Structure 1
Amino acid sequence: MLLRVQALTPEVRAMYAAHGHYHEGDSGVDLFVVQDQEIQPGETAFVKLGIKAAAFTPAEGGEREKNVSWLIMPRSSISKTPLRLANSVGLIDAGYRGEIMAAVDNIKTVPHTLKKGDRIVQAVAFSGEGITLELVDELNKTARGEGGFGSTTCPAGEPEMKKAKNDVAN
């Protein structure tokens, strides 16, 4: 799978250009936390990863490459932290072009601080095939665009979790 990554800042682009935790053919490519963030006990937080990304299957025999969905999965080392992915595995639809984020729960009774450069999640192809990472200046446009986290079921693209919290508060 080819994963095209558009970094949202020059600093994030430099992080991916010097990605030392990625080897051609790996089934998972680690994604970086791009800013310090403290997550309180019991809190569900959105961790912005500072990138937009699109996945493609390679073109073969005159065919065009195909835009495909992909997964965000926890790295095994996340088990050393009090964090868990709130949705267990994140599905990134083929047409999504917004910022990639990870929704995480702090399941312990103490705050946990993520530091810029930490790696808690990874991009994975459905097939488990190897991933080639390509930095690009811009991604192709899609009908879906930047709507994510429940945008197809909530009014005005409001994230599902925010809507649920508001419903409980009212």
Structure 2
Amino acid sequence: MHLKIMCLSDEVREMYKNHKTHHEGDSGLDVFIIKDEVLKPKTTTFVKLGIKATALQYKCNYYYKSDKKDSNNKENEIVNTSFLLFPRSSISKTPLRLANSIGLIDAGYRGEIILALDNTSDQEYTIKKNDKLAQIVSFSGEPLSFELVTELDETSRGEGGFGSTSNK
């Protein structure tokens, strides 16, 4: 899977400019907390990550039915795909949990990536700029690559997130 990441400020761009996975073949790309923030006890806080992203992969017959005799067969076409936001294992050393366990970022979503963090403690907890509490992962767990871009393609979904497709 290949990610196109659009940073929403120059400061965030600097954070990602030399970023990479830690080991060749890693399945997750850590995402940064972009500012210090105090999370109140026993609450859920929506933490903006200062990035938008789109994921790309090759269209594959396993997921898309195609007729080999069809001259319009585009099995090697590159398409937008959904991706996941997982907690990093180190989050277990904190009182924090992702409120939705795993975040699903639909292929058409183009809004800012946001973590919904539960502070399970009876005390405030401070997250710090440059902390890495979550990671972007493909559905297959395959290694990923990424590039920084200045714009993303438009979709009919756009920036609607966190329940935007229901509860209307």
- Determine which of 149, 153, 156 is the counterpart of 1:136: 149
Contact 1:24 1:131 (C-alpha < 8 Å) held by counterparts: no
Task: Label 1:127 to 1:91 Cα distance change in 2 as closer, same or farther (>3 A).
Answer: same
- Match of residue 117 from structure 1: 130
Contact 2:99 2:118 (C-alpha < 8 Å) held by counterparts: yes
Q: Secondary structure at the match of 1:119?
A: coil
- Match of residue 127 from structure 1: 140
Shift >6 Å, 4+ stretches: 59-62
- Match of residue 82 from structure 2: 69
CA RMSD of superposed structures (Å): 1.7
Task: Label 1:69 to 1:44 Cα distance change in 2 as closer, same or farther (>3 A).
Answer: same
For structure 1, list consecutive stretches of 5 or more residues without a partner in the other structure: 156-170
**What's the TM-score once normalised by structure 2's chain length?**
0.87
| Greater RCO (CA < 8 Å, at least 6 residues apart) | 2
1:107 maps to a residue whose letter is T
Q: Deviations over 1:61-97 (max 9, x none)?
A: 9832110000000000000111000000000000000
| Correspondence 1:125-164 to 2 at 5 A | 125-155=138-168
State the number of aligned residues: 155
- Match of residue 104 from structure 2: 91
Q: Select the structure of larger CA radius of gyration.
A: 2
Q: Distance in 2 between matches of 1:124 and 1:140?
A: 21
Q: Deviations over 1:123-159 (max 9, x none)?
A: 000000001011111011100000000011234xxxx
Q: Deviations over 1:16-73 (max 9, x none)?
A: 1121554453100000011111101101000110000000104799832110000000
Q: Secondary structure at the match of 2:147?
A: strand
Structure in which a larger fraction of residues adopt helix: 1
The reply on whether 1:102 has 2:108 as its aligned counterpart is: no
